[in-house]
Amino acid sequence: MTKINIQQILDIAIAAGEEILSVYHDESKFNIVDFKADDSPLTLADQKSHILIADKLERLYPDIPVLSEEGKDIPFDVRKEWKEFWLVDPLDGTKEFIKRNGEFTVNIALIRDGYPVLGVIYAPVLNVTYYGLENEGAFKVEGGGTIQLNSLNKKGKNLIAVRSRSHASPEEEGIFEKYHVTEFISVGSSLKFCMVAEGKADLYYRHGPTMEWDTGAGQAIIENAGYNMENLETKIRFSYNKESLLNPGFIVY
């Protein structure tokens, strides 16, 4: 398998974030340019970030294919032969981007044999990076410092659950009762994974639809911090490169 330089991937995520901010801070560019198949908005920032990430990954790692939200039309007959591939969401949380609340991210994951072995989540407005690397751990980079994230403070009761700002569902209530959740925090995009990895939340449940590129980087981070991500249908570890790129429900704990 290809040896990956994690600093290169961190640099790509930050450069993509700069492309996003060039749109975010420019009223003349800040507009919805199209709509995706699920009617969610597509902005110029999504497109600029996708172009930068795809170009840099293809230059640095020409033997590893890229599956991105903005370049997803690759037939399963082709994808099923992939042993490893980049799974990219160039702007996760477009609704948060449009709301201008800063809670959107760049997500880059490396999938090997169906599971994430590397994941980077960068929040450009917050200027914070989270990453997870198989056999090395999970980390948060902020203000020039790096801290390791771990699950040593896992709790068994009085749990804090993280929930979506834009995609909450009624099915959540039964899960929260089952797991004895007593407090909640709301945050947008894949930052929900980061809240669990960082210990600010104990559980993240998602019933509603997500796509593979929404979760790959987050899963790499939380698993390498010592947490689990379970497919609610099969009750086993969440996996990738399915024929349908639509995810089932999941729980992170």
104 and 10 within one domain: yes
> Do both 217 and 243 map to the same domain?
yes
Average pLDDT score over the chain: 92
Q: How far is it, in rounded angstroms, from Cα 43 to Cα 23?
A: 9
Examine the domain organization and report whether 191 and 219 are in the same domain. yes
CA distances from 146 to 163, 174, 184, 251 (A): 26, 37, 27, 27
* 13, β-bridge pairs: none
Quote the domain boundaries for residue 13: 6-149
Do 111 and 87 form a contact (C-beta atoms < 8 A)? yes
- Is residue 203 scored above 70 in pLDDT? yes
Tell me, yes or no, whether 189 and 109 share the same domain. Answer: no
Query: Structure pTM?
Result: 0.94
DSSP 8-state code for residue 230: E
pLDDT in tens, 224-252: 999 999 999 999 999 999 999 999 999 99
Q: How far is CA 169 from the centre of its chain?
A: 19
Which pLDDT score, from 0 to 100, does residue 168 have? 58
Note the residue count of the chain: 253
CB atoms within 10 A of CB 144: 5
Q: Are residues 73 and 192 in the same domain?
A: no
Distance, in Å, from the CA atom of 47 to the CA atom of 71, rounded to the nearest integer, reads 10
Tell me how many domains the chain contains: 2
CATH of the domain at 112: 3.30.540.10
pLDDT at 39: 62
User: pLDDT by residue (tens digit) across 124-176?
Assistant: 999 999 999 999 999 999 998 999 999 987 887 889 999 876 655 677 778 88
Say whether both 96 and 190 belong to one domain. Answer: no
Amino acid at the residue 203:
L
Spell out the residues 6+ positions from residue 213 whose beta carbon is closer than 8 angstroms to its own.
67, 68, 69, 72, 87, 88, 89, 92, 107, 109, 245
Domain-ending residue, one of 149, 174, 190: 149
Q: What's the pLDDT tens digit per position in 6-39?
A: 999 999 999 999 999 999 998 887 776 667 655 6
